[in-house]
Each structure stands twice: as structure tokens, then as C-alpha cells.
Amino acid sequence: MASGEDGQFYAELCRSPIRFQPVSKTNNVFFDDANKQVFAVHHDGSMGIVVKGPEEKSVATFRTDGKGDIISIKFSPDKRILALQRTLRTVDYVNFREDMTSEQTEYSHACKAKADMIGFVWTGASEIVYITAKGIEQYQVTAEKRSLRAMKSVSLDVRWLFWLSHAGMLLLASGNMANTLHLIHFKMGMMTRLPKFEVDLPSVPKPHKPMLYERDVILATIYECLYVVVLKHPSNATAGAEIVLYQIQKEGPARKTDILTLDMSGRFAINVIDNLIMVHHQASKTSVIFDIKLDGKSDGYVRFHQPVLSPLPIKPFKLMLPSINLQASSDKMEFSCELYSANWVVFQPDVVIDAKLGCLWTLRLNLVPIVTMMPDKVKLIQFFLNRSDGKSVLLSVCRQMLTPGQQSTLNVISQVYDMLNQVYKTYLEIEVHMIPVEATPALTVGPRKKVTVDQSDMFTHVFSVFEEHKEIPYKFMVAVLIEYIRSLNQFLIPVQHFLYELVINILVQNNCFYQLHQFLQYHVLGDSKPLACLMLSLESVYPPAYQLALDMLKRLQTANEEIIEVLLSKHQLLAALRFVRSVGITDMVSSRKFLEAAQNTEDELLFFTVFKFFELRNQRLRGSPQFQPGEHCEQYVKKFEARFGPEALMPVQSNIL
């Protein structure tokens, strides 16, 4: 069990670390960053190997033949083949069943090159690549036959390697200073070499020679693009280190795009969390984050970035006593883990391992404290838009910007709404219309979804603040809503009627009928049937609302039925008949509906006029003034005869043969 004190920390370790037997004289620990599995190897494996991963079902325990100390150990992606390296030239294999029990029998395969192996990586469920000092060798593993078949090889002097499994990208360093980097992409058994490139190294005083070390380089996916991330230490003690990003291109060598400025020197470790580069500094025991999507200074070629926030330590972490190996006589109930320990080893993208303590954590970002750490609301919203789980915090910030005592200016609110709706518009285009995303020369890895805030989100979580804080001036409420509507219109996003209704209700509650009239007359509030219905309901408090609603329905040109119903409800039958004739739907309207409305007016002259209108229609359509049985107008014919006499009916002309 883990616990931690609350505080202002934007980085924290996961609450439930993976626990394993700590490293000791009789126990070695290995981590496979491709499968996110930690191996606790007792002695040489003959006394047992315990494998743990992020999922409970990935836990396995087994033994291997005691053939010597293990140098490296990794499962294939499907966990069906275990590869173990015990010597510098050979890899041993053990097949596994679905229930994670081993078949015991091992088989081996040596590298072809007369050189030591630097490492190996699984590039597929049955494909493995040996990396030696003289190049790489790709093999296909056939578990059933317990054999390997050579597929392809590349000759190359290799100093060290880095493997990014989810992208299928292998980085190899060569040259006297290890600063010539080669990229090889693996996909579905195919091997593709990308152009090599060189990393600039800082000058160092003689007789020392500059060198690019494995510990200072990682591959990372940031905002869908692949980067080589290089930590450059300062050439003198007074300068700070910097991190250089080389974006991997589809064609051509990797291009230097960004430089992250660190005002510190010493030992660093790098994680990439939710597209943020998190840099840990051991001496100060603090971490900083960089967001390359935020604006940085540029010299026309490279963008320079400062940390998003001031350096802060990772949130303190405590383990309960039963889970660690302390003396039973201790009075302490929990153990505070040493952060930034010399025993920490960092893996990509977000893994921290303390082998001496026997803990594997994933790092996570705590977004809530960042709200108070970043006063620039525009920058803050831009930051949260790019976080995978930033929506709830983003909405709370938008709400805060309207809350008394914390209100932002309309200019800032306008900028924020434009940012939200730009993302909203892109979402609508991609998701609804399936418009393809514009191609980029950079090598990308999978789609990335930004936080999308739609109109319902704003109505429910942001504009609801108006209902809770009655003290907010109505002019500010209206100005904010009109600004949001303007932004929606700017991005050609149809405005939902509930936003218009909110504006109207605020204006009506504050007796601002003239302003409401202006908004409708000049189409600040867009036409819609629900809005027209709302205006009709306001007639009792604002009589001109009736005509405004009627004009709105007419402009829609899709609300003929609604207009007729409105006119009939107001007993304006002649106006309704004129409208029917003007839009050319005389032949389609219900005669019974009009006759019933005329009867309800108790105006005999009006009833006579309406009856004669439909008699003429019947005569024109069918050659007879009589109503058909399906029209159900018999009672109105009887009423007409009773009041005006049968002779008032239009005569039926008979055909004489």
C-alpha cells in the first residue's frame, strides 16, 4: 500500500508500484521496456525467475537451466518465446505456452559476425535482431522447430543502441565519437534504413575527446512525430546543459528542430509523459517539464524553449512497512522513499525503477496544481488542450475565468474561445466529414486526439456559473455569450439553440427588450425553430416578440407548418390563407384544420370566407366544390348549410352526355 501527502507537485509516482525482489548478491534485476516487464533472476535462473508486468496476468514464475549468469532477458511481444543472453555471442530460447508455463527445452543460436553482441531486440512475435559491434542480423524464429532462419544483415560499426518498440525504430551509434546515428525501421518483417546524421558535440579541453554516450540519447514519440532526443552537457562549468531534438523525417536526415534550455548542469534523466519532456536533475532533486507545442523563440531554423514551470520535486512517496524489508522492531508505520536516488534507473517513456528498493513506478502528471502555477490563462488553456486527460481541468479553468473575483478580461476570454473552437472545428471535420489530415514530411506514429470542448460542455460546465453566481453583472454574461457565439460563427460551426436561449433568458430577466430586439433584427442570434418558439412564449411580457418570431420562421423557409399553426392560434385565418397562397402550398394544407379554426372564432363572416376558399380549391383540383369523405369536413358543411342555407353552397355541375 502506498500513500502520499498532498501538496503542490505537478509530477508524481503511481500509487501502486510493481514490487519485485530487490537486487542483491544472489538476485539480479532486468527490465524489458518493450513489454514493460521486470525480471527478478535468482542466481542464474536455476533457482527461479519471477516476471511481473503492468497486468496481473503477465506475472509468471519459472526456472531455467543453470548455464551461467544472464546478461539480458526478454519475452517476444506475444510472450510465447523467451530469449536469454548468457554469452557475448549466443542467445538461448525457451518456448512458452499460453498459461505462461515453459516447455523447459532450450535451443540456441549464435550470431554470425565474429564480434561481441551489444544486445538484441524483438521486432515481431517471431522476429529478432542481434546487434553486434559489426552490424545487425535479422532472424525469423520458428518456435515449433526450435530454429532460427537468417533474413537480412547490415554491416556497420556499432558503439551502442536504443530501441523504441512501439515505433519499430532502432537507433545505432557509430564513429570514433559515437555521434554518427543510424536509424533502421522495422515493420512486418521489413527492414528500412533511414539516412544517417551526425550530432554536434561540444568542445572539451584536451586531452579529453568529446563523446556521445548512450545514457544521453533516447528515441521518443512527441505529438505523433519521432524524435532523437540528445542531452548536451556544457563545455564549461558556468553554462547550463541543453536538450536538442532531432525530428526524424520520412525522406532525408533527421532535422534539428528544438532546443530545450536547462539552467543547470550535472546528472539528468529524461522521461516523456503525455507529450511533455520531463527532465529530472539529481543534484537539486527537482524536475522540469517542456512543451514544444507552446510558443518558443526561433532563429528561423530552431525553436528555443524554456521550462513550462519552475523546477519542483516529485511528490513525496511513502510505502507501508509490511511491503519493505525493515526490522520488525522499528516503530515506523511507513517508509519515505528516497526520490532521485542514485539507485534510480529511468526507462521510456515514463518508467522509474529503484532496483535496491524493489519498486517499479510509472510517472504521471498532476494537472490540478498547474492551474495556480501558470497565471497566463491563454498559455494555460493551450497547455491543457494538448493533455490527454486535461478536459475536466480545462473546463474548470474556463469556469473560473467567469467567476467573480477571478474573472478574466473579455480580450483574454475571446482568445481562449477561439483556441477551443479551432480544435472543435478540426474535430468536426475529421470525425464527422472524415477529411484526411494534412500530410507532413516528418515520420509520424499513430493519430493523436486533442481535448475537444463542444457547445454542450460549455453550456453544462462553464456557463452554468451564471446560475450559481447571481451577482455577476448581466452585461458581462451577455458579452461572454456573444463572444462565444462570435467565435463559433468565425469557425463556421452551427450554433446550438440552447446558447441563444440562454442569451434571451438573461436579457428578458433583466428587461433588456430593446437589446434583444436589436440582436434578433441584426441576426446576432441566428434563426431557428426552437428560438422562434421561445420568442412566441415571451409575447406576454414583450408583445413585439410575436412578430419577431413570425419573421424568423418565415426566414427559415422550412417552417411553413409552424407559421400556419402560429397564425391559426392567433385567429389570423386570412393572414394564414394569404401565407399559404404566397408559398404555393394551397393544394396541400388541411381544409379541416382551417374550418375548425374558423368555427372556433365564432365569426360567421370569417367562417363563410374560409369555407368558400376551400370550395374554390376543390373545384379547381377535382372539378367539384364538394369535400371528399377523407377530409372529414361533413360537420362544417352542415354548419354552413344551417347558417347560410343550401343555396349558398357552390353548385355542382353535372356532365351531360
* Domain residue limits, the chain: 557-656
Residues 6+ apart with CB under 8 A from 519: 503, 507, 525
Query: Tens of pLDDT along 180-202?
Result: 999 999 999 899 999 999 999 88
Cell numbers at 129, concatenated: 535482431
Query: Tens of pLDDT along 40-76?
Result: 998 866 778 999 988 766 788 888 887 888 999 999 9
Q: What is the mean pLDDT of the chain?
A: 88
Query: Tens of pLDDT along 590-640?
Result: 889 899 899 898 898 999 999 999 989 988 888 888 898 888 899 999 999
Which pLDDT value is given to residue 4? 37
Which pLDDT value is given to residue 657? 30
Cell numbers at 55, concatenated: 497486468
Q: Angle, nearest 10°, between helix axes 497-509 and 529-537?
A: 20
Q: Angle, nearest 10°, between helix axes 513-521 and 544-556?
A: 20
- Residue 444's pLDDT band (cuts 50, 70, 90): low
Higher per-residue confidence, 437 vs 24: 24
Query: Are the C-beta atoms of residues 271 and 278 closer than 8 Å to each other?
Result: yes
Query: Tens of pLDDT along 370-380?
Result: 999 999 999 99
Distance of CA 559 to the CA centre of its chain: 39
Asked whether the predicted pLDDT for residue 99 surpasses 50, the reply is: yes
Which pLDDT value is given to residue 3? 38
Highest mean pLDDT among 307-316, 536-545, 584-593: 307-316
Asked whether the predicted pLDDT for residue 150 surpasses 70, the reply is: yes
Share of the chain above pLDDT 70, in %: 92
Asked whether the predicted pLDDT for residue 472 surpasses 70, the reply is: yes
Quick check: helix, strand or coil at residue 336?
Answer: strand
Instruction: Reply yes or no: is the peptide bond before residue 207 cis, omega within 30 of 0.
Output: yes
Query: Tens of pLDDT along 303-323?
Result: 999 999 999 999 999 887 554
Q: Angle, nearest 10°, between helix axes 573-582 and 591-601?
A: 160
Which pLDDT value is given to residue 247? 96
| Range with the poorest average pLDDT among 146-155, 215-224, 268-277, 555-564 | 555-564
- Residue 429's pLDDT band (cuts 50, 70, 90): confident
Query: Are the C-beta atoms of residues 421 and 499 closer than 8 Å to each other?
Result: no
Residues 6+ apart with CB under 8 A from 556: 527, 528, 529, 532
Which pLDDT value is given to residue 529? 84
Query: Tens of pLDDT along 283-306?
Result: 999 999 999 999 889 888 999 999
Query: Tens of pLDDT along 482-500?
Result: 999 999 999 999 999 899 9
Which pLDDT value is given to residue 2? 38
What's the distance, Cα to Cα, between the start and end of the chain in Å?
A: 104
Quick check: helix, strand or coil at residue 15?
Answer: coil
